[in-house]
Amino acid sequence: MTESNININVQLDANKIPQQIRWNASGTSADALQQSKAMFLALWDDVEKTAMRIDLWTKDMMMDEMADFYYQIFVTMADTFQRATRHAEIAEGIKLFANDFHKKYIEKEAEKKNE
C-alpha cells in the first residue's frame, strides 16, 4: 500500500489571522512549498454524518479573487459530484448556480463602482 502526505503550513499574525498559507504534497513534481492566498478543505465524518471544514484566507486575498475562488470551487464540486454519482442533471444545476453566483457578484461590484 502506498501512502501520500499533504502538508499545510499556516503562518498567523498576533491576532491569529493567516499571513501566509503554504502547502506541499508527496508524490508531486513540486518539491518546494507552494504559496496560496486561500484554502478550503472539507472532510467527511462518516460517524457523525457531517462535513468538517477548514476555510482560511490571507489578508491580501482580494474580494474579486475570493469570488473567482468560490466560483471555481462550485464548478469543481459539480464535476466531482457527477463523477461520483453520474447525476449529470444535478451537477449541471450546481454549475448553473455557480454561473449565477459569479454573474451576481460582478453585477454587485459594478453597482458599487457606479455609486
* Chain CA centroid to CA 88, Å: 22
Mind giving me the DSSP string for 89-105? HHHHHHHHHHHHHHHHH
Residue-wise pLDDT tens digits, 8-62 = 999 999 999 999 999 998 888 777 899 999 999 999 999 999 999 999 999 999 9
Q: Any idea what DSSP says for residue 32? A: S
Residue-wise pLDDT tens digits, 64-111 = 999 999 999 999 999 999 999 999 999 999 999 999 999 999 999 999
Give pTM, 2 decimals. Answer: 0.87
**Residue showing cell 450546481:** 94
